[in-house]
Copies of this chain bind each other. A is one copy, B any other.
Amino acid sequence: MGIDFSHFVKPNLKIISLHSTTLKFYFCLNMKKYVLFYGLLAFSMLMLFQLSSLAIFKVGASRDWILLVVAVVSIGIGIFYSKAQSSKNQIAEVSDTENLVHYSNSGLTEREYEVLELLNLGFSNKEVGEKLFISENTVKTHVSNLLLKLNAKRRTQAIKNAKDLKIIS
């Protein structure tokens, strides 16, 4: 269910994360494209260098102009490359729009899930404790375990990760 059980921080605390096989699969599919892309890139750079030699010796173009052309083309390549990468990331993020993962399949305990839901509603530890009839210290313990399991440094990040993992909505 999209959970990686391979990372063990504590014996009973498993880090929840997006399944890695999907990414691996995607990577293997695109290896050919990567090789092709970088091969073409290297080839075109070489051609550019050769062209610059031709331009200098046959046409008599100035060195600054050659540099300018190379710089502009390279900036264009950089922008193109960056946009290609970012579009892939966007697709990966949007790709799976399914139902929520039940908390029992999410790696969280029932109590941790309850705490997480209240965090998502914007309550403080104290308020969560009042709503669940437990002490603030207990809430802190749940939140700490929550952060470990969701691989987050802050409650806001935990909420974000949990939403990405479809644990909460």
Interfacial residues, chain A to chain B (CB-CB below 8 A): 45, 48-49, 52-53, 56, 63-64, 66-68, 70-83, 86, 90, 119-124, 152-161
Nearest chain B CB to A121 CB, angstrom units? 6
Contacts of A68 in B (CB 8 A): 45, 49
Q: Which 5 A-B pairs have the closest CB atoms?
A: A78-B78, A122-B157, A74-B74, A82-B82, A75-B78
Contacts of A63 in B (CB 8 A): 52-53, 56, 63
Contact A119 B156 (CB under 8 A): yes
Nearest chain B CB to A145 CB, angstrom units? 18
- A158 to B124 CA separation, bound complex (whole angstroms): 12
Contact B75 A81 (CB under 8 A): yes
Specify which of B45, B75, B122, B153 is in contact with A154 (CB 8 Å cutoff). Answer: B122
Contacts of A82 in B (CB 8 A): 78-79, 82-83, 86
Contacts of A160 in B (CB 8 A): 120-122
Contacts of A157 in B (CB 8 A): 121-123
- A53 to B63 CA separation, bound complex (whole angstroms): 9
